[in-house]
Chain A
Amino acid sequence: MCLAVPCKVTELLPDQRARVELDGLKKDISLAFVGPVEIGSYVILHVGYAIGVLDPEEAEKTLALFQELEAQPPP
């Protein structure tokens, strides 16, 4: 369930809405559930609403975890 996609906030719009961008595609969505966000931050978009904000530091840590595997010996 729950097709949701991380998109970048490019513009804040009135009525708790924002324009987000994904690889050149733009869409206007509701920020009703995430409060104030900064331009350039990423939100998780589901059925026209941002349901959460993506934490870029945690994202980096997760990616680093994927890359680190080479270095770790098997248990």
Chain B
Amino acid sequence: MKRPIAGAITLAHGAGGRASHQLIQEIFLFHLGNPFLQQGDDGAVLDLLEPDSQGGRWVTATDAHVVTPLEFPGGDIGRLAVNGTINDLAMMGASPRYLTAAFILEEGLSLALLDRVVASMATAAKTAGVPVVAGDTKVVERGKGDGMFITTSGFGLLPAGIQCGGSHAKPGDAVLVSGTLGDHAMALMAERNGLIFDPPLLSDTAALHGLVADILTPRPSAVHVLRDPTRGGVATVLNEIAQQSGVAIEIDESRLPMRPEVTAAAELMGLDPLYLANEGKVIVICEATDADSILLRMREHPLGQQSSQIGQVLASSRPFVEMRTHWGGRRLVDWLTGEVLPRIC
């Protein structure tokens, strides 16, 4: 971005693709840049805080949530907010311990809806075993706030010996995913686009720290990267990791777990499932020799029953992500351009 800065925010900046990436680099990192942020991981290890008696370090992460509609099949903005930050901490390998929540409420928002959302947050927090220990609320005038925005922050404890990060993928590593792709994005799109799922398609929003704990035990050093493919989908996450680690990643189209009705919906709308958001899935990059045993443990967990190895990491002079199609053809899986939009062509 040339300075002085001109232009306006567009929806592309929020989609998780190139424009989002550029915004972060050229405004946020430009001003705020420090070693914590430069790493580009889901959270930051607070190394000024003393490790605990077992060498565990504190980690923090934060997440802002905007979603329309506020309530959708399988969840609501509150549940997303709680699970989202818990997952950011889990992706660092940390055990989530505390959450904070700040609300921006639009004048005119239904109190009954707010009540339902907060109740849902409480349930999600209780199920995950992570309390919300601090909060704030502000109200904005009607027309200035899309109903409700929620920002959550979290603190977790990272056990000694665990080092997961986007820059740790190594050539030869296996790439795993914990379950079906695109469910969350499609569940949200369903009503707006006249897609009827019977039984209704539910968002996959879930707190993943239990699954992550199973993945890391017994050999945490075998797990190099954990990341949840939220907005921008698997394609975005794999491109981020490829760039951070300086590697190439090759995935196999026939190994991507997908519900048939989600595949059908993506075909109908002209959407590529690789770019669809998920809120309850994790990508695992691990030593190839440990892949089978990790998959076994994932499949035994309720949130990982359809875990699958989808690809591998390759050495490369420049980072890229590529997919082998069903017939052995190959195509680049590029960064998302713009937002994920349905096509007619």
Contacts and interface: CB of A to CB of B under 8 A. Distances in A.
B343 interface: yes
A47 B270 CA distance: 11
Interface in A46-68: 46-48
B325 to A, nearest CB: 18
A71 to B, nearest CB: 21
B268 to A, nearest CB: 5
A24 B194 CA distance: 14
Given A24-B198, A26-B197, A27-B196, A1 B264 contact: no
Given A3-B270, A27-B194, A28-B194, A22 B344 contact: no
Interface in B290-345: 343-345
A22 B259 CA distance: 12
Contacts of B345: 1-3
B175 interface: no
A1 B270 CA distance: 11
A23 B261 contact: yes
Interface residues of A, number: 16
Nearest to A45: B268
A1 B345 CA distance: 4
B10 to A, nearest CB: 24
B268 A26 contact: no
Nearest to B342: A3
Contacts of B259: 24
Contacts of B198: 24, 26
Contact of A22 (B268, B270, B343): B268
Interface of B: 194-198, 259-261, 263-265, 267-268, 270, 343-345
7 contacts: A1-B344, A5-B267, A22-B264, A22-B267, A24-B197, A25-B195, A26-B195
Interface of A: 1-3, 5, 19, 22-28, 45-48
Q: A-B pairs with the 9 shortest C-beta distances? A: A24-B261, A26-B196, A23-B264, A23-B260, A22-B264, A1-B345, A25-B264, A25-B261, A3-B270
